[in-house]
Structure 1
Amino acid sequence: MRKLFFVLAVLAAAMQTLPLAAAIPATQKLAFEVLRGDADIGRHEVTFRREGEDLHVDVAIDLEVKLAFVTVFTYRHRNHEVWRDGKLVSIETETNDDGKEYKLSGRATAEGFSVEGASGSFVAPAGIIPTSYWNPSTVDQTQLLDTQKGRLLNVSVAPEGKEQIVVEGQSLTTQRYRMSGDLRLELWYGPEGQWSRIAFDAKGSQVVYHLTSDPQIQASLEAGQAN
């Protein structure tokens, strides 16, 4: 009986980690161009690498909004996450939001996920997921960790159905979700749970992330179409 329980536990753990593994492109990279209306304002990249049992995820965001060739807004964000067995074990972020600096540090502890950031120190639930969006389990959450200000965000997510999106002239079948509450945005995930798009309003303009034609991305797009 003990052996049976052990086998069931291993199978359950494997089922929990499969969606996370499937969401990582074979190329180990996601790259988006960021559009505000019709204007290209920057780049958002997510890279993945394995080190032993750990999954390391690096997020780099660089945005710049110009008006008549004059820069009126800049945004830079760097985020390093470490995941183990499908759970976040640490996070370090630095953000420059148009001149305002933020730092966040978090570690998994016996009590939960300990966070230190601009909003103070607190212990978040052990299974908390950050607002880096690449993890498809984001849409199953009622709380998320703000990777900039280090606060808990209360959210509600509703599926909006299947949708074909065009990525550099190619059609990709995605599942669309609408998030409300402390965050108001739309998310799209591909057949294997790969993050494919995000859209939200910012100061009266819509900002949309589009997967790029980066050669490293093309292989994952083709894999998604094959499924």
Structure 2
Amino acid sequence: MLSAPLLLIPGGTRARPAELRFRVVRNGSVIGTHRVAFAEAGEVLTARTEVDITVKVLGITAFRYAHRFEEVWARDRLRSATSRRDRNGTVTELRARAQEGAVLVEGSAGRFHLPAEAAPLSWWDSRRFTRPLFDNDTGTPLQLRWTRRALPGGGSLWQASGGEESEGTYAADGTWTGWKTRAEDGSTVLYEPA
């Protein structure tokens, strides 16, 4: 995962791989992939996320999930975001755009006028966890509680609670290295570097 070319993130000094790839693992079996590709043009950063998950039981598809999400950032401010999620055939879409002094979000949960520093919940950049966040499929403003713990070697573990019960791990340079959450059926879902 870390052998990809590095990009300098606009508005910051950290570099990150041009792409992050994870295997999605549930109960010890790989059920899908999560990929984030970054493209930089001047001070604009575009992050394109693709998630594909299929759970089969006795050879029959029991769960199917596909999510395409794009974020465009100008320095540290979200310029726009679009999302299309297909969960077992039910599609939800989201559009967000910056305007002077605000971020306007329209999704399946309605329309929201959020503060200018608002950001979608995307785990690839832990620096945003202190901002007002919104759900990246529905647009719903999130009220999460965050805790951060240091890991050996200078990395960190960020845990979210209050609607999103998940945790992400990060290398010392801030690169996203893993994720863990509990699925609706109570099983544990892990992201492992691919």
TM-score, normalised by the number of residues in structure 1 = 0.77
Contact 2:155 2:173 in 1 (8 A): no
Contact 1:199 1:207 in 2 (8 A): yes
Offset, 1:22: 1.6
Match of 1:191 in 2: 172
- In the alignment, which of 21, 30, 36 is matched to residue 31 of structure 1? 21
- In the alignment, which of 206, 216, 220 is matched to residue 188 of structure 2? 206
Per-residue CA shift, 1:96-137, capped at 9, x if unaligned?
A: 011111000010011400011101111111111212211121
More strand by share: 2
Q: Which amino acid aligns with 2:11?
A: T
Q: Which amino acid aligns with 2:14?
A: A
Contact 2:103 2:116 in 1 (8 A): yes
Match of 2:156 in 1: 175
Q: 5+ residue gaps in structure 2?
A: 1-9
Offset, 1:24: 2.3
Query: Max radius of gyration: which structure?
Result: 1
Offset, 1:163: 4.5
CA distance in 1, matches of 2:15, 2:166: 20
* Coordinate RMSD, CA, aligned: 1.6
Match of 1:221 in 2: none
- In the alignment, which of 145, 148, 151 is matched to residue 159 of structure 1? 148
Match of 2:106 in 1: 116
Q: Give the SS at the match of 1:134.
A: coil
Match of 2:54 in 1: 64
CA distance in 1, matches of 2:158, 2:43: 31
State yes or no: 1:43 paired with 2:33. Answer: yes
Contact 2:96 2:106 in 1 (8 A): yes
After TM superposition, the runs of 4+ consecutive aligned structure 1 residues lying more than 4 A away are none
- In the alignment, which of 117, 126, 134 is matched to residue 145 of structure 1? 134
Contact 1:174 1:196 in 2 (8 A): no
Contact 2:11 2:43 in 1 (8 A): no
Specify whether residues 196 and 123 from structure 1 end up closer, same or farther in structure 2 by C-alpha distance, changes over 3 A only.
Answer: same
Offset, 1:53: 2.4
Q: Give the SS at the match of 1:17.
A: coil
More helix by share: 1
Per-residue CA shift, 1:151-190, capped at 9, x if unaligned?
A: 11111111133147xxxxxxxx631121111211111111
Contact 1:111 1:123 in 2 (8 A): no
Contact 2:108 2:139 in 1 (8 A): yes
TM-score, normalised by the number of residues in structure 2 = 0.89
